[in-house]
Structure 1
Amino acid sequence: MTIFQAIILAIIEGITEYLPISSTGHMILYSSFTGIASDPFVKLFTVAIQFGAILSVVVLYFKRFFKSFDFYVKLLAAFVPAVIFGLLFSDTIDALLENPLGVAISLLVGGIVLLFVDKWFQRPLIDDSDEIDLFNAFKIGVFQCIAMIPGVSRSGASIVGGMSQGISRKAAAEFSFFLAVPTMGAATCKKMYDFFKEGHTITPYQWQLFAVGNIVAFLVAMIAIRFFISYLTRYGFKVFGWYRIIVGGIIVALLLSGVKMEVL
């Protein structure tokens, strides 16, 4: 992987991690089209640069992370389903990561859902993420597990899960951002552990790629989060739904026309 490819992947991560369009799906598609997807380091890199995106949430919402112990209890309740689901179905999830067509179909289906979600949940009862209770948090965590299917979108699944419980778009989005910290942090640690366990090593050049990737992901995610909250509050999900449908449709058309994509 070149430094240019690392920067592009980091930009994709920073833009898509907190938007409901699937960061994993976009990085799978880019690395597959560029022929670098089978490299074990690339697989690690696409997960490890999430650290930069995580840090952007902590910086933007610094006061929230040091506000009360109850905040961490709710995050833990929302995080537990992902741990259980990930341990039980890790092999299945790995198999799904190897299927670009599956990513494209997930983008299409998710896009259709986003076209209608604003109409489904028009009267929120909770308008502040601090008002989300323990049971609400746990159910959001269950919805987040759907995003283990590549192309679904972790933020999209958790936000829709929150809205289904009467939580406003803004409050659900903010809680989704907070939940990303333990979820993505655990995924990064797990991927790093597996990488070294399999006998791989990281060269000085690859450490440089990590540094560049995380810095770029951090800066881009900062911008993406601010944009998303503002846009979502005003206009809702429809534009993201159409984007997913267009991208998913293009990928399906390319694959069916015989375009070769290297699987992970």
Structure 2
Amino acid sequence: MNILDLIKSAFLGLVEGITEWLPISSTGHMILVDEFVKLDVSEEFWNMFLVVIQLGAILSVCVLYFHQLNPFSPSKGREGRRSTWSLWGKIVVGCIPAAVVGVPLSDFMDEHFYNSYVVAAALIVYGIAFIVIENWRARRRSELALDRPRGAHFAASVAADAAEQGSDFGTITNIDQITYKTALGIGAFQVLSLVPGTSRSGSTIIGGLLLGCTRAVAAEFTFFLAIPVMFGASLLKVVKFMLKGVAMGANEWGIMIVGLVVAFVVSLAAIRWLTGFVRRHDFKAFGWYRIVLGVVVLAYFLLVAPALGRA
């Protein structure tokens, strides 16, 4: 078993665990990482590995939100179980657009759009989108504050709002308030993530914000939508890999297990951090980061890679 490959796998799991949940595109980061950290594996295994290590990331959601997502929890009463089943119904509805559009187009999109230039463009475009949407939400929040009845505490209220620049804002402030229609709408935005570099979490969070969710609710529903989508995508890749008759040796199994475990552990920390961050800050920082990363990806593959003979 190649120790260096295991170390590389751990690093890739680290990148996956962080970037899968933050709206900054795991694909964009993996494209850059692949230029410098290459595993000694076949192309077929590499393509499967990139998807399957997402299982480690998605298992972290199942662990962190096990009680909330478990309709059979003994601590839940009849109403609690009904609410949980309703949540799962909305998750399934939210996955319909990705299943209808994504499954037949997945290979086509990977073949024709999985390149550095498309990824860089998507990083920049959606980075700008995050900044524009958050600025619009801030203006809308200020307008609503000014529309309040001018009572004795009006000035203090507006001042408090101004001081809380990063506070959450939206008409849907609880995950249970998401309707089936809203879930379907967020799921439709998830289809945008078929374009590499868009970011699955980024597209669904943008959808949630535009449809009236607070940042916290948009992020949480994004976590839940990932469960069937990522499990399905991973299963599909594994089946395709197995159908090709490619055997995995001890080195490949070791690489896979290390990547999964590291992605799981890092995802636990990333999700906890993001849920706390979005309650106090907006998504503009991620927007600026995406723009910078997009420019870096574009510059590298236009200027540096050709000079190194990697174009």
Instruction: Give the shorter-chain TM-score range.
Output: over 0.9
Structure 1 residues 137 and 226, CA gap change in structure 2 (3 angstroms) = same
Structure 1 residue 223: Cα displacement: 0.6
Q: How big is each residue's C-alpha offset from its partner over 1:61-98, in whole Å with a ceiling of 9 and x where there is no partner?
A: 11111142112111110011111111332232122453
Cα distance between partner residues in 2 of 1:180 and 1:88? 19
CA-based RMSD: 1.9
2:127 to 96, 111, 129: 111
State yes or no: 1:2 paired with 2:48. Answer: no
Q: Is the 8 A contact 2:106 2:194 kept in 1?
A: no
Q: How many residues align?
A: 263
Structure 1 residue 120: Cα displacement: 2.5
State yes or no: 1:206 paired with 2:222. Answer: no
Q: Which segments of 5 or more consecutive residues in structure 2 lack a partner in the other structure?
A: 72-83, 142-168
2:18 to 11, 15, 33: 15
Q: Which runs of 4+ in 1 moved over 4 A?
A: 35-38, 260-263
Structure 1 residue 28: Cα displacement: 2.5
Q: Is the 8 A contact 1:51 1:185 kept in 2?
A: yes
* Equivalent residue, structure 1, for 2:116: 100
Cα distance between partner residues in 1 of 2:28 and 2:304? 20
2:297 to 251, 254, 263: 251
Q: Is the 8 A contact 1:52 1:216 kept in 2?
A: yes
Structure 1 residue 38: Cα displacement: 6.9
Q: Is the 8 A contact 1:38 1:262 kept in 2?
A: no
1:27 to 4, 20, 30: 30
The AA in structure 2 aligned to 1:187 is A
Structure 1 residue 238: Cα displacement: 1.1
State yes or no: 1:133 paired with 2:175. Answer: no
State yes or no: 1:80 paired with 2:96. Answer: yes
* Equivalent residue, structure 2, for 1:64: 68
Cα distance between partner residues in 1 of 2:302 and 2:245? 37
Cα distance between partner residues in 1 of 2:231 and 2:259? 16
Normalized against structure 2, the TM-score is what? Answer: 0.80
Q: How big is each residue's C-alpha offset from its partner over 1:82-125, in whole Å with a ceiling of 9 and x where there is no partner?
A: 11111332232122453112111111111111112212334511
Range 201-210 or range 118-127, more displaced: 118-127
Normalized against structure 1, the TM-score is what? Answer: 0.93
1:43 to 29, 40, 47: 47
The AA in structure 2 aligned to 1:257 is L
Q: How big is each residue's C-alpha offset from its partner over 1:173-214, in whole Å with a ceiling of 9 and x where there is no partner?
A: 000001111110000000001111122121122111111111
Cα distance between partner residues in 1 of 2:127 and 2:232? 27
Structure 1 residues 211 and 62, CA gap change in structure 2 (3 angstroms) = same
State yes or no: 1:152 paired with 2:198. Answer: yes
* Equivalent residue, structure 1, for 2:267: 221
* Equivalent residue, structure 2, for 1:89: 105
